Amino acid sequence: MAIDEYEDGGVAKTFLGPPPPSWFTWLTRGCEFTTFILVTVWVFKDLGGLAFTAVSTGTNATDTSGIFNWHPLLMSLAFPVLMAEAVLAYRAPLGPALERPQRKQLHAALHSLALACIIGAIAAAISSHTRKRPDPIPNFYSPHSWLGLTTLSVVTAQYLVGLYVYLFPKVAIRNRRAMAPIHQFFGRATFTAGLATMAVGVQEKTTFVQNGMQLSGSALYSSVIQLAAVIQVFLFLTGILVLFHHAGPAAPSRKTGDNSQLLPDVISQEA
């Protein structure tokens, strides 16, 4: 791999950047939308599609899987697409000619849509559980649901802080700058936590399907199981590619007798 180094204090740079080239950003977006498409195919092809009401399956018995399926669909729109684009809004927005105030508005709008999708997804899961007959399904008992509630809490707090401090600033500029690294860290952390929680949820759903359909042997290679595995791989790839856009610049080449630290602090001015 070719690396350009400069002994006069310049920085090292590879063909991947930083900042990453435009083809890398479009590869990232390809992974984002592929993840959403894969979940959509999984929902409609293998999980029974979508519904707004419970379907009667007999005397005092209902099928609420169609209601529940809004949960993975909306979550796959919230985190791998909307929140991913929110994380990219300053570094690599869809409109590269956008000025800084417009990027801030885009960042806030994407987070608003993502939060709405998250809330809708959780409401769908609760509705499907409580409408299930003859026996409703308990809510918030699994590790996935606990991770989800924790992630939602931090996402909501992060969103409110962003509105108060940056979009409709109520604090001094020096305090906004001081909070910027913290806000950025928790933004990336909640994005990562959301993808991880989705991966846990996909695995949980796959286990339910496997047990419910009593799949074993070669049946484990059916699309309902294998497509879920592919979705998890794309969740991982989406996270890695999006976060790479926030990799800091390389350290300047060290000179003889230079005792400064190899990786200097990088102070972002995004906020």
CA–CA gap between residue 239 and residue 247 (Å, rounded): 13
Give pLDDT, residue 109: 96
pLDDT (tens place) for every residue of the chain, 271 residues total: 344 444 444 556 677 777 888 999 999 999 999 999 999 999 999 999 999 999 999 888 999 999 999 999 999 999 999 999 999 999 998 877 889 889 999 999 999 999 999 999 999 999 999 999 999 999 999 999 999 999 999 999 999 999 999 988 888 999 999 999 999 999 999 999 999 999 999 999 999 999 999 999 999 999 999 999 999 999 999 999 999 999 877 665 555 445 444 444 433 444 4
Q: Which domain holds residue 226?
A: 22-244
Asked if residues 124 and 74 have their Cβ atoms less than 8 Å apart, the reply is: yes
* 258 found inside a domain: no
CA–CA gap between residue 185 and residue 179 (Å, rounded): 10
Q: Which of 106, 211, 214, 223 is nearest to 167 (CA)?
A: 106
* 195 found inside a domain: yes
* 10 found inside a domain: no
Give pLDDT, residue 249: 73
CA–CA gap between residue 155 and residue 187 (Å, rounded): 8
* 12 found inside a domain: no
- Predicted model pTM: 0.87
Give pLDDT, residue 36: 99
Q: How many domains does the chain have?
A: 1
Give pLDDT, residue 97: 80
* 50 found inside a domain: yes
Give pLDDT, residue 2: 42
* 154 found inside a domain: yes
* 178 found inside a domain: yes
3-state per-residue secondary structure call for 223-258: HHHHHHHHHHHHHHHHHHHHHHCCCCCCCECCCCCC
Residue type, 191: F
- CATH code, domain carrying 83: 1.20.120.1770
Sign of CA dihedral 123, 207, 34, 238: positive
Report the 10 Å Cβ neighbour count for 57: 10
Helices (H), the chain: 22-41, 65-68, 70-77, 84-88, 100-131, 143-162, 173-212, 223-244
Q: Which of 83, 75, 115 is nearest to 202 (CA)?
A: 75
* 78 found inside a domain: yes
Q: Which of 120, 152, 147, 153 is nearest to 204 (CA)?
A: 147
